Amino acid sequence: MIKIFLYECKRLLLNKFFFGILFVLLFYGRQVLSGTTVLGVSHTAPFSAWSFGDYLSRMLPLLWIGTLFFLTFFTSAKARRASVLTDAVRTCPRRYAMARCAAAFSGTLLLSLVCLAEAAVFYGSYFGWYEWGQLIIPVLVTLLPALIFALGSGWLLGRIRPWLIYVWMIVPFLCMALPLPSVLGIWNGSFFTEYPLTVGSLDPAFSIPAPVIAAQCVLLICGVLLLMFTGKKIHN
């Protein structure tokens, strides 16, 4: 199975789509960091966990799209034609699907790491700030649930109807445009700009209220549960 995983990774990562989106992410990230993040959010430093969370939430739509596009490698018409052959192989479909999802997740992880590395370089070069450990929690809270959910839901939708993946790409943009309740504030980034102001202290340490954690956990669990369906064939 490791061989399949590596092969799928090679398919996803050694092609012009991956390098193209990498370039787009780097360019967009640079623009966000130097145009918006540099001012800081909610009276906090540009390198605070809050400002960094705001940066991540601005990058999330592109990462979401990237994740879903990775899935189109497995759900496209071409891939479906090839599935006649791959399905004939004596491999557990669930494990095969898991290997593919793991490859897609690896691609997403790589893209996310590039965004994080870019921010780290920016903080170092602008402010001489290197305490990156403080930024792990915002990464876990912002990116992990959303991208796992993107993977799970995208996989499911792609297997129902491949074009649904493309429709699903609009979701983060809708979240940014719609006035979401505060408990879903991480989905459109408003949490990072509004919540620190309600804490009542200057430069508050990064903290997340329980309902927001619960919402993110639900998102994460939903993503994981949806991934559990990966082995089941829904549509021919």
Partner 1 sequence: MNTLKSFALELGRLLQSRLTWLVLLLTVISPAAGLTLYKPAFAETMLSMYLANPALAGGAVSGILFGLLTIYELDRSSRSRADVLINAIVSPMRSGMVRMLALNAAAIIGLFLTMLIWLPITYAQAGTVLDMTNYCLAYMIFMGLALPCSILAAAACYQFTNRADLSVVLFAAFAGLSLTVWSDNWQLCWLNPCVWALSDDFTNFRIFRSAAYMRLMWLAALSGVWVLSWCCIRRYGKGILGSLLRSTRRIYRPVIALLLIACSGAAYAAQPIIDNSNPDETASAFLELPYLEGVVCTGRTAKVYPDTAKGTVTGTASYRFLNSSGQTQTVSFGINPGYTVSSVQVNGEDMPFSIGDYQEFNEALLEAEIPADENVELIVEYGGFPQESRNMSETQGSAEISDEYICLQNAELAPRIMNVMPDEGMYPAEIEITLPKGMTVIPFCASEASIVSEYENGTVTWRYEDNGAGGILYAGDYICEEIDAGGITIEFYYGRKHRSVMESAGAIDAVRAVVDYCTEHYGPLSFGMGDKLKLIQSRVTGGGYAGDGASLLDEADFTAANLGDPGKGAGSGEVMIHELVHQWWGLANMFDSSNETDPWSAEGLTVYTTYRIVKELYGEEYAKQYYIDQWQQETDDYYLNFYVRNPEYLEKLPEEKRLEVLGSLTHVRRYCEMPLKILKAEQLVGGEEAMDMILHELFNRELDPYYPYLTYQNFLDACELREEDLNLD
**By CB under 8 A, is residue 107 in contact with partner 1?**
no
Q: Which is nearer to partner 1, 40 or 93 (CB)?
A: 40
The three state secondary structure string of 215-236 is HHHHHHHHHHHHHHHHHCCCCC
Among 11, 6, 18, CA closest to 111: 18
Q: Which is nearer to partner 1, 66 or 215 (CB)?
A: 66
Q: H or E stretch including 60?
A: helix 49-75
Q: Which is nearer to partner 1, 50 or 96 (CB)?
A: 50
DSSP H helical segments within the chain, as ranges? 2-13, 16-35, 49-75, 77-86, 93-127, 136-160, 162-168, 171-177, 185-188, 190-199, 210-228
Q: Which is nearer to partner 1, 68 or 215 (CB)?
A: 68
Distance CA 85, CA 170 (A): 33
Q: Which is nearer to partner 1, 40 or 231 (CB)?
A: 40
Considering only residues 27 through 46, tell me which ones interact with partner 1, judged by CB under 8 A: 27-28, 31-32, 34-36, 38-40, 43-46
Show the binding pattern over residues 134-173: x = contacts partner 1 (CB under 8 A), - = does not. --------------------------------x--x----
Give the one residue of 2, 3, 84, 128 binding partner 1; rule: CB under 8 A: 128
Considering only residues 45 through 74, tell me which ones interact with partner 1, judged by CB under 8 A: 45-46, 58, 61-62, 65-66, 69, 72
- Per this entry, what is the length of the chain? 236
In angstroms, give the least distance from the CB of 225 to partner 1.
26
Number of residues that bind partner 1 (CB under 8 A): 34
Distance CA 132, CA 135 (A): 5
Token couple for 140: 């876990």
CA distances from 206 to 125, 134, 139, 199 (A): 23, 9, 12, 10
- The contact set with partner 1 (CB under 8 A) reads 16-17, 20-21, 24, 27-28, 31-32, 34-36, 38-40, 43-46, 58, 61-62, 65-66, 69, 72, 77, 126-128, 166, 169, 177, 202
